[in-house]
Amino acid sequence: MTDEWMLAFAGEGNGARSFDRAAHLRGDGAWQAGAQVLPVWRGKLLLDDAGNLAWLAPGHPALEDALPPMLLGVLHGRAVATQDMSAWAPPNMAETQLFLDPTEQRHPEIDGARFAELRGAMAALSPAEGELAATARALTGWHATHRFCAACGQPSEPVQSGWQRRCTACGASHFPRTDPVVIMLVEREDRLLLGRSPGWPEGMYSCLAGFIEPGETVEAAVRREVFEETAVRTGEVRHIVSQPWPFPASLMLGCAAEALTDEITLDTVELEDALWVSRSEVAQIMGGEHPKIRPPRKGPIAGWLIAGWLSGTLGATSAR
């Protein structure tokens, strides 16, 4: 029922897991002996020319100015880590503000590999590589944006092999954050509600989504977000599957919601458009034949939800 590209980011299908987060090793640096390093550069992962994650040995010349290594865990019995080497500046690098950065960067000290945007590469990764990539991107991103203590404002430093930061002044400990997001397949009378955000590529529509607020349940967040963005009221909510989404640090909680009303009133700050599509139209979309809406990208959870709805194979747990 579930494609390999979805498994890589939904955390399923790993019955006999080859990757262990090995939290018991984080307390000291003994794991660094013989480890291999997955470099991250400004949010991009190092991939080899076949599209797989590319690993470097500790002390590789390209890592000379990188931040200290952070333990990801143990893969096939060997410690694996990540290092942020964003200080490296490629010559003549062009700035881009695109939805998905198509540029790739090659470091002069690294042969046969390049830094590439994870959004475009995720579909080719195995489940273990998907988890490693998501963890590396999220962890390096958290350190880059949380260098000062939230309690007193003084500098903090990495401890526990990169899984904590400790304030050098007041001693407060800080931990990597994950923000829960609901993404919902809203259905009514054999139709789906799809929307598009301002700035998305032409023809790109997706399921509605939004952050869960403090003190809010998953079900309440689904109903609130759908109503706020489209004025459509929903009833029953079913949880389907979850997916880590390290852009920068979210956990996508995939749900299905039963719509109770049809009329759409847009929140034009959040959405540029929203519309109901029939089952036959969804089949056109997934086949690349719809005149207005392009097929969803492989990798993100939305495409998996839509494909499951179309085939009638979505599993679910129900909550009211």
Is residue 137 included in any domain, yes or no? yes
| Token pair for 236 | 């029953």
CATH code: domain of residue 247: 3.90.79.10
Give the bridge partners for 71, in sequence order.
81
Question: How far apart are alpha carbons 72 and 162 in whole angstroms?
Answer: 9
Q: Which pLDDT score is estimated for 12?
A: 47
Is residue 173 included in any domain, yes or no? no
- Looking at the 3D structure of the chain, how many domains does it have? 2
Residues 238 and 136 in one domain: no
Domain that holds residue 78: 4-145
Q: Which pLDDT score is estimated for 94?
A: 60
Q: Which pLDDT score is estimated for 266?
A: 96
Residues 87 and 20 in one domain: yes
Final residue of a domain: which of 145, 171, 188? 145
Is residue 266 included in any domain, yes or no? yes
Is residue 86 included in any domain, yes or no? yes
Q: Give the C-alpha distances (Å, rounded to integers) separating 169 from 147, 150, 162.
A: 13, 12, 19
In 3D space, the residue among 55, 119, 43, 60 whose CA is nearest the CA of residue 81 turns out to be 55
Is residue 152 included in any domain, yes or no? no
Q: Residue holding tokens 């994870």?
A: 118
Residues 243 and 113 in one domain: no
Is residue 257 included in any domain, yes or no? yes
Is residue 76 included in any domain, yes or no? yes
Is residue 174 included in any domain, yes or no? no
Phi, psi of 71 (to 5 degrees): -70, 125
Query: What tens digit of pLDDT does each residue of 44-100 get?
Result: 999 999 999 999 999 999 999 999 999 999 999 999 999 999 999 888 666 555 567
In 3D space, the residue among 237, 20, 104 whose CA is nearest the CA of residue 225 turns out to be 237
Residues 289 and 229 in one domain: yes
Q: Which pLDDT score is estimated for 267?
A: 95
Phi, psi of 105 (to 5 degrees): -120, 135
Q: Residue holding tokens 């139709």?
A: 191
Task: Tell if the pTM clears 0.95, that is, is over it.
Answer: no
**Residues of the chain below pLDDT 70:** 1-17, 92-99, 315-320
Final residue of a domain: which of 95, 119, 145? 145
Q: Which pLDDT score is estimated for 15?
A: 40
Residues 189 and 284 in one domain: yes
